[in-house]
Amino acid sequence: MSRAQAIAQASAYFDDGRFMQALQKRVAIRTESQEAASRPILYDYLRLEIQPELEDLGFHCEIIDNPLPDGTPFLLAERIEEGAAFTLLTYGHGDVVRGYDHQWRAGLKPWEIVVEGDRWYGRGIADNKAQHTINFAALAEVLKLRGGKLGYNVKVILEMGEEAGSPGLKEVAAQYAEKLRSDLFIASDGPRVNAPTPTMFLGSRGGCNFDLRVNARDGGHHSGNWGGLLRNPGVRLANAIACLVDGKGRIRVPSLLPDGLPDSVRHALRDVEVGGGPNDPEVDADWGEPGMTPAERVFGWNTLEVLAFKTGNPEAPVNAIPGHAHAHCQIRFVVGSDDRNFIANIRSYLDAHGYTDVEVTLSGIQFSATRLNPDDEWVRWGLASMQETSGKQPTLLPNLGGSLPNDVFSDVLGLPTLWVPHSYPACSQHAPNEHILASVSRESLQVMAGLFWDLAEQGKQVLARRLAA
């Protein structure tokens, strides 16, 4: 048995069609977590699709209800070896966003894999069904080759509500903290920095969604009769937004910014290129925080985005001053931000600049920002393993630009977190025409087989060095 054999077996899993077969079954299951009618389907995905696979690998599985009302289920699994040196925790989610069946282009179907060259299309195929399918399959191939002995324990938490904001995940982690107790976390979600480059990220930016509203009066009033006499809510709200973020995307509120860009983060991002793919939008060089590279702006700094803005009736405008204006906004933020006080700080800043008529309210679930130290022993080990397998220099991102519930694993469970994504930025996740790249999936199977193999061979020593540091 050898590392090379493990990687070859993972490649064969892709080449002989077993990966496609497993993925076809999973994509066909309409696990739309935003739809209340999908609750039985979410349970079926765990009970009929994931549990049998893990039990075949020697896991003991338990499907548990969400502790929150109307929440989605979880699968907890563990594979315990006598004399194991340490424990690995991994994670995935089986739910998807709505299919939007009629919005997919001709020839594509959200609940059926359609292959066009390197692209495999299907809802949830990138987020997250291919990703946890790859990880479980790679682990299985390593187990076969090592005679069913890894030398470490493996625990799994698979949720069915990530696309709805992971309700109950933090509560489940706290309630089952002892059962989930581990030494290392490795999981897969989100995209690589670009399709050809194996990538590791160590956490995620946080996300804070909030609403701004101006309610000036009931109903509209004729602009010819009342223009120049009545405050226009759209104008007020536009100027309030401009008070928070300038015309080039730079946040103007000091209390909404992090306390700096650490040298370790700047060093990790120095060679990272953002965009440049055939379907990527062109990066605006003069947008965002000045003096920073594109990578530093999206992975190392905070941004304030206006996601939606409405005043009056855009679909059928009339000559009337509207009574109301509403904007849905978002702050993406990194470690070192005063995120607990974002809403209060926005309120104070608007008040100080004369916008007392603008209401500010938190909207939805807020994700925390997390980031493992890029100099951590596990990081160096993981990057070396990925490079040996792929023959490429992997990209290290201190954190993902988007948001994930990584704080559950890093803060609630206290784990060092390594994320190894198997998708790419132009995969259309959450949109019609979602897809993966077959070439990336095949390489990802190899990378994960190498990681699980090296964890068996080197993990005990890496953990000892980390504890001694």
* Pairing of the two strands 87-93 and 184-187: parallel
The predicted pLDDT at position 242 comes to 98
Give the 3-state secondary structure of residue 77: strand
The predicted pLDDT at position 364 comes to 78
Give ranges for CATH 3.40.630.10 in the chain.
3-204+369-468
Residues of the chain with pLDDT under 70: none
Residue partners of 408: CB distance under 8 A and separation at least 6 = 166, 169, 170, 173
Contact 324, 233 (CB under 8 A): yes
Give ranges for CATH 3.30.70.360 in the chain.
206-258+302-362
* Pairing of the two strands 114-116 and 199-201: unpaired
Whole-model pTM: value is 0.91
Give the 3-state secondary structure of residue 277: coil
The predicted pLDDT at position 263 comes to 92
Residue 155's nearest CA partner among 89, 99, 242 is 89
Give the type of residue at 317.
P
Residue 234's nearest CA partner among 342, 317, 305 is 317
* Pairing of the two strands 221-222 and 153-159: unpaired
Handedness of CA 214, 217, 220, 224 (dihedral sign): negative
The predicted pLDDT at position 136 comes to 98
CATH of 206-258+302-362, one of 3.30.750.24, 3.90.1150.10, 3.30.70.270, 3.30.70.360: 3.30.70.360
3-204+369-468 under CATH 3.40.190.10, yes or no: no
Give the 3-state secondary structure of residue 89: strand
Euclidean distance between CA atoms 177 and 169, whole angstroms: 11
Up-side HSE of residue 135: CA atoms within 13 Å toward CB? 27
Count of CB atoms situated within 10 Å of the CB of 30: 19
- List residues bridging with 303 in a β-sheet: 332
Residue partners of 222: CB distance under 8 A and separation at least 6 = 319, 320, 321
- Give the pair of three-digit tokens for residue 315: 């679909």
The predicted pLDDT at position 403 comes to 85
CA torsion angle 18 22 24 29 (round to 10): 170
Residue 193's nearest CA partner among 417, 395, 399 is 395
Query: Tokens 């600049």 identify what position?
Result: 353
Q: What is the pLDDT of residues 272-330, one digit of tens each?
A: 988 887 778 899 999 999 999 999 999 999 999 999 999 999 999 999 999 999 999 99
The predicted pLDDT at position 398 comes to 95
- List residues bridging with 24 in a β-sheet: none
Count of CB atoms situated within 10 Å of the CB of 136: 20
Query: Tokens 């194991």 identify what position?
Result: 84
Euclidean distance between CA atoms 395 and 362, whole angstroms: 34
Residue 146's nearest CA partner among 61, 79, 52 is 79
CA 28 vs CA 19, 51, 336: distances in Å? 14, 17, 42
Q: What is the pLDDT of residues 126-161, one digit of tens each?
A: 999 999 999 999 999 999 999 999 999 999 999 999
Total residues found in the chain within this entry: 469
